Structure 1
Amino acid sequence: MFSLVGAGLARAESDRPLVVGSEVGFPPYAEIDESGQPTGFAVELFAAVAKVMDISVTFRTGPWDSIWQGLKSGELDALPLAAHLDEREGQVEFTRPHTIGYDSFFVRKGRSPVPSIGQARALSIIVLRSDAAHHALVSRGFTHQLVFVDSLTDGFRLLASGQHDAVLGPRLQGDRLVEASGLSAIIEAGPPLKDYRREFCFAVRKGDTRLRDRLDQGLAIVMASGEYDRLYGKWLGIYETPTFPVKYVAWGTGVIAVLLALLGLWTRQLRRQVALRTAELARAVASTQAERQRLNDVLQALPVSVVLLSQDYRVVFANRFFEERYGKARNRRCYEYLFGRCAPCETCETYTVLKSGAPVDWEWTAPDGQDYQIHDFPFPDNEGASMIMEVGIDITEMNRAKQALREANASLEQRVAARTAELEAARREAEEARDLLRVTMDNAPALMSYIDADCRYRRVNGAYERWFGHGSEQVRGRHVREVLGDSAWRVIAPYAERALAGERVAFEISVPYAEGGMRWCHATYSPDLDAAGRVRGFVAHVLDVTERKQAEEGLREADRRKDEFLAMLAHELRNPLAPISNAVQIMRRLGTMDSKLQWTRDVIDRQVEHLTRLVDDLLDVSRISRGKIELKREPLELAEIVQRAVETSRPLIDARRHQFAIHLPPQPVHVEGDLVRLAQAVSNLLNNAAKYTDEGGQISLSLESSDSDVVIRVRDTGRGIDPVQASSLFDLFYQVDRTLDRAEGGLGIGLCLVKRLVAMHGGEIWVLSEGRGQGSEFGIRLPRLRGSRPFIVGSVHAGSGERQVSYPGPSSLEKSDYKSGT
């Protein structure tokens, strides 16, 4: 069985009761009883609706203008009686009308009645401030002739005193107030106005549509239950026109009995009364039909289903909400058109209402899958037969929301459980990490500590006890000065201040500890910042490097003595070389025909020259190491450096019959440096290429330039270099072939000397080789001199883009290509 009710949406207001404004002096809709409590039709109707919807309310009385402003300002939550006017749209929220009223112009007796608003333009009219009559007149252009009062009673007293022409107000309330004020002999009401009518509604604060909808639902329930009719009869029925003119019938009967002769007059009078009664009944029927139509309109417009069922399961009435979903249902049995059954549903709870006579609340899922909450209650028809009124609300979306909430709660619980497990695992991991950190710190050889912003120890490792004899508990909380001593604190205090300023500090310094004496320490202070970026303290890591410092000092002393020894050795070796060279030259001048003596003289001459070069290189390395070499810097053209280097290395290149090529750029390129030293560096590279390339090999020297630097490349097709050895090739005394029977000899100082000379000129050197037997390439990069005056050696052929540089000897550089050998 289908039924719908809105118990689920009408929940109790748990925070506070609604504050409802009740007008004073507007009987029978709203007034104050003898005990000072609000009463009247609208007040009791609102209370009945609130009870049905389980809403707690409290009433606050006052003049109409006061409570109307209170509702608009938000001081009040609702009003039980407010006329729905176009002028009030947008100021508050109105429910559907619960009563219809008409206004009349009240005038002093003896004056002509005012049947319409248009005929009152010349009159001085009294109206209730902010009332519907006030808005109706203002909207029609009435302004200067209006007189405002705070209650209709005050208005009627002004009219009775002869002031002003009329009072415009509701007919029903006006009649009662005139009678209650004792002014019925002075004031009378004109005919009801057809210009407008009052549609009395409940009103709530602007935007509170939820409360408006709940009041609409409750009003529908109260109307359907019969409570509305009871309240209407109690307050408004007594003011309706009497149902039958009894006094006139009694008078007519007496006349007939006493004066039969006046039969004609009685007949005429009776016809008149019948006509009046017929007109009254017609008006009553029309009014009843209008009220029925208004009630039907309200039920049809409700956002809930309202269904009236007879005892034989037929639908007597179904509103629009129901029929839009399930089709026309009137006079059809509910189990037939809803379920296609031939008999009533066994599980239907609706018809238990007929047995128990009490309302039933339950939930039901319709054939279309929609969920409803049902409110069934007994309802008598016009003949007293029992029927069932069903009112319900679609709670499908609410159930879905509840299901989604349950699923979300279940998911949240799972996530909380998973997160709890993760946090527990993280806690155990943190404890393990903390224990591991403590063990690591306590067994570390370095001092490790945390020092707060006041320079007091908060945590130290076991090394403090090994260094100073103080345990962790003895050090914790004490100032650094107390633990290390004043002298040590004066040394490290500036670094601590920098760390507390947010800077990470690393330094090596000699510290005079109060306990432990002077020690060289390598220390790192790392600041600790809070979430706001403020320094809370710093972590100190201090390592004793005293032994390393002593070793470094010993190495420096040994290196100094080595340099002195090399210098002394070079000088001592050079002294006998000059006499030997002179003796060879004397022997060459004296001449001899003995071939053995000539061979011996040439061997001595070559070896003396070789020894001289070795000694010169050794002296240069010694001078560079001791900073004894001063460069004579001047603007130089690279071609001049190349010329000087080739002159030095040409004899060795020619002797080994190598093919030698030089490639120069078409325009002069300049650097700043010492001509002798740069030529020495390039010559050393050429000599190495000539020595370590088998006879008849190929050697090339090329120059490249860019905006910022120049590159000199020396390539050969010689023995090549193992890439593993390339990084050590420029070390002092390093030799690729360390066997005693090396064919080329050498002390391993040439490339070291080249590297140091190039570095003194702000350049760099490198070597490339694909391995043994693959040849090698040495490169020198030097800063290019910009904006200097060209220093040209040789000549440039105009328009050719090729350069010719002349060199003494059997070869020359033709078209950027110099070749030597066979």
Structure 2
Amino acid sequence: MADEAGPDRPSGLRLGAFLRSSGERIVQEWSSRVRALPIARALPELALRDHIPDILDGLARTLEGEGSAVHLRAPDLHALARLEVGFDLQEVVTEYGVLRRCVLDIWSRESGELTPVRDVLAFDQAIDAAIGAAVATYTATRERTLRALDAVSNAALNSEGLHNFLQSFLVGLRETSPIVDSASMYVVEEEELVVRAAVGPAQEESLGARIRLGECLAGRAALAAAPLESVDTREDPRITSAGINKERLRSAYAVPLLIESRVAAVIVVGSEKVRALSDEDRLLVRTLAARAAAILALERSRDETHKALAMLSSFTESSPLGLAFVDTELRYVLVNTALAELHGRRRGEFPGKPIRAFVDPAQLEEVERVLRRVLETGEPVVGREFTMELPPGSGRMLHRLVRYFPVRGADGAIWGVGVVGEDITERRSAEEALRRSRAALSESEQRLRLVVDSLPDLINIVGADERYRLTNKAYEAWFGVPPESLAGKRIVEVIGEENYRTAKPLFERVMRGETVRHEHPFVFRGGRRGFVEVTFVPQVTAAGRVIGFVSLVSDITERKRREAEDLRRLEFEQQLIGIVSHDLRNPLSAITLAATVLLRREDLDERATKTAARILASAERASRLIRDLLDFTSARLGRGIPISPREVELHSFVAGVLEEVRLVYPDREFPSQQAGDGRGAFDTDRIAQVITNITSNAVQYSPPGTPITVKTEGRAEELAVSVHNEGPAIPDEIRPHLFAPMHRGVLPGDSRARSVGLGLYIVKSIVEAHGGRIEVRSTNEEGTTFTVLLPRQARKRGG
């Protein structure tokens, strides 16, 4: 290396000129070398090199004796840009070391000679001064930035709730940057920006103000998702929102807070001091905005995590399934109450404990084997069932269905095993009960099939398509075909066209949902004609749709024949009785009139008088018999016995009837009793006929000399007449037919026929015509009592 410069000019002057003339080459080579540093790769090209030309110019001026350390100082923006990507002091110094080597290497290559010692020393002194200035700038900027970031961090740590954090953040921002006089925080809520925090003169009044996206400075910054600046705010038409005091501020700067590339809020800072914020101040605001966005994202993530954990906890606790998480050491990490209860333990006993502390020893080996298999293979194991006695010795067997599946982290590594346990004891019990029910049902079906097949009637189930689904064995007897061959066949194919035409309208009715009962002619096997009774019941789904019907068909040919014979016999009997009764009334009336006239004559001797009296008594008995026959005919023909009710007092009316009965039976006593209000409406002639008939029976079927007690009673809604006689009870074999026509009671040893057996039948018919009823009580100890119960007001019937 030479000791001196050339004679023409000092070496410092030559090196300074070289720095000016070769500045671009120096910047390019320096940029290339610095890019080799990993930390520098994160810097944008402009932020990396835009200050180097000024540094080279400052070095040249210093070497030429025209500059000072002020010209070697990099701007604060240089330091902030490097702080943003994580530069430390060593890396800042390294940048200048690279610059030193670039300058000397290029100088040596282009001058073709060794650099003089004095030049090197002068250049080193200038570079050292530049390094010192850069370190001072970096340190000052770093301290300022750290103070601002500390303020943000403290705001996050010491604030409760989003509003308090935002307010504290703006206070810290204002204190850190002296040129900032006011600041507002606009939070994105749906499609609007809402002022949620504000500091500065009169800014509190803007809290709660709303603007639309794209409106004013904040709205436009949010819509563009990029910072926007307002220079000379008073004249800027974009400044229209309540969040900025347009009259006082000279400049404003809006920076969006981005969370996952989406705008969450916008910070707007304003200054009354400067017309435009410096690059360093704008970068500081952006740095703090980025930190605030990161804190907001963290808070939002924390809130979402808390909500997710709360939802997970609520889900696991409300789940009827037992849920657990087992780590790779086979220890419980998480257990819900349902799974703890499956083990008969409390939930808090599980976390951190090995599974062997809770699993039944008889099943422990199997459970551990399954868990390790899931951990090793990463494949789930489903449907493993365990049966245990719980509590031990109780004899109560419980069934558990357990599923195991791997739980993986974000990197795919297996963290542990998820366990889902389900108590299926009730299911197993239900399945066993269902199995027993099916067996019982099968047995019942077999018994039902035996019963159905033993019936002579046709029983079948028919679908909506009129095809047989089920038939019984009677089809073989009726049509000569085995029932198992009928499934799927149409009805017309089995019963024939003639029978089908008769039944078709009935099929249509039942398919409309109507239950059908009908009797109609039927052509049987071999051409025999007869009658059938059919019952069709629709099969209806839960939705109300008819899908078929159940059919019961009975052969009623014999019943129809008997009914026809009975009807012919009944008609003949009724005609005979009607003719006899009607044709006998005229001669009997003549006999009664003649006997009555004879008895009124005073010239008859005693013998003739007795003969006339017997004739009159016999004629009256014959008249009563004819009246009974006529009443019987009327009742049997379905017309009922006609009545004409009128208002009567029961007690006095019955007393009058008893006087007439006493005349007929002078040798018997008829004591009477009355109770209650006897007023009512009934047919006096018919009720007199009832009382006379019952009292006459009481006389005939009671021991001679015993009293016949008659009691009348007025009750709340009805009138009662009871006739009691002593003597043996009515025989059991007679009681079922007591009120049937043509039946009469005969006392032991008494073969005389006192009547044709119509009396009590007509009594019952008269009482029922009044809407009443008749009751009989008969024992050997108490005797026999007939009680007639009539409504107080009977209605007229017939005529």
TM-score with structure 2 setting the length: 0.50
TM-score with structure 1 setting the length: 0.48
Q: Pick 1 or 2: higher relative contact order, CA cutoff 8 A, min separation 6.
A: 1
The structure with the greater share of residues assigned to helix is: 2
